[in-house]
Amino acid sequence: MKGCIVRPPRSEDEPTQEGLAQFFNQVADLTRGISTHLYLASPYRAGAPDLKPYVVNEVVSKHPGAYAGILDQTRNASHMQDWLRLYSAQLPLYSNDELQAVALGKLGLHTSVSSWANLIPSVMTALVSPPSATKLSVAGNAIGTDDGPLLHLARMLMGLPEVPALKYLMSIQYHDADWLRVRPPLFELLPQSQENLLKDFKKYFPSGGKP
């Protein structure tokens, strides 16, 4: 089973809500019968047209079940809360904001699309697991949902191009140079940056973040 994130298309002119609905409906028509999970997605760049209730309602009513969920890529807490209020009754909500994993879990969002999931799977799995699947403290708080590891990883990546940095770490962790070629940009970090990043990663994640 494959997943496909369907974003609002790029356009020099701002598309109308009717045009966006037509675009998403056409994608649903063209992929009917194909074993693929489709996800409606928010824009990932400033100034792009956001998904409005008209679009979501139109797509869900005309193609029920065609889209497996809706992905918020804004990394904006207020935006996510608005979407929870507007769309949670229609489609499962997902987020790609790793640093908000704990907060989103408390809101009932226990799934996410994460660029860090392959690198530190055990950490990400623990953070997005339902509270019922975790141990609770005497005070009733979930144990093992500390977001400290995510903050530390964010600090490690700060100042570096994130995609090349993640690809480098995964190529080392999985002993597979193909990770360096999985997606653009294809340039590599400078040797000194690689050395410093790997040293810091191994120090903080001695098991590599794997189970």
CATH number at residue 33: 3.30.70
Is residue 10 a part of any domain in this protein?
yes
Q: Quick one: which of 132, 169, 124 has its CA closest to 149?
A: 124
Is residue 7 a part of any domain in this protein?
yes
* pLDDT average, residue stretch 173-192: 87
Q: Which residue has the higher pLDDT, 177 or 211?
A: 177
pLDDT of residue 142: 54
71 and 131 in a single domain? The answer is no
Is residue 83 a part of any domain in this protein?
yes
DSSP state letter for 33: T
User: Per the confidence metrics, is the pTM higher than 0.75?
Assistant: no
Most confident of the following: 9-13, 54-58, 154-158 = 54-58
Most confident of the following: 17-21, 26-30, 112-116, 132-136 = 26-30
Token pair belonging to 199: 């040293």
Token pair belonging to 147: 């977001």
Could you report the per-residue pLDDT of 34-68, keeping only the tens digit for each?
888 899 987 766 566 688 899 999 999 999 999 99
What range defines the domain where residue 58 resides?
1-96
The answer to whether 169 and 160 are in contact (CB under 8 A) is no
pLDDT of residue 165: 93
Mean pLDDT of the chain: 81
91 and 123 in a single domain? The answer is no
9 and 45 in a single domain? The answer is yes
* Residue 132 reports pLDDT greater than 50: no
123 and 91 in a single domain? The answer is no
Q: Which residue has the higher pLDDT, 76 or 132?
A: 76
pLDDT of residue 95: 82
- Burial (CB count within 10 angstroms: exposed 0-12, middle 13-18, buried 19+), residue 83: buried
The answer to whether 183 and 163 are in contact (CB under 8 A) is yes
Could you report the per-residue pLDDT of 23-32, keeping only the tens digit for each?
999 999 999 8
195 and 123 in a single domain? The answer is yes
* Structural domains counted in the chain: 2
The answer to whether 173 and 119 are in contact (CB under 8 A) is yes
Is residue 114 a part of any domain in this protein?
no
Is residue 107 a part of any domain in this protein?
no
Alpha helices in 10-76 (DSSP H): 17-30, 53-62
* Residue 138 reports pLDDT greater than 50: no
Domain boundary among 96, 128, 162: 96
Is residue 191 a part of any domain in this protein?
yes
* Residue 211 reports pLDDT greater than 50: no
87 and 163 in a single domain? The answer is no
* pLDDT average, residue stretch 95-120: 73
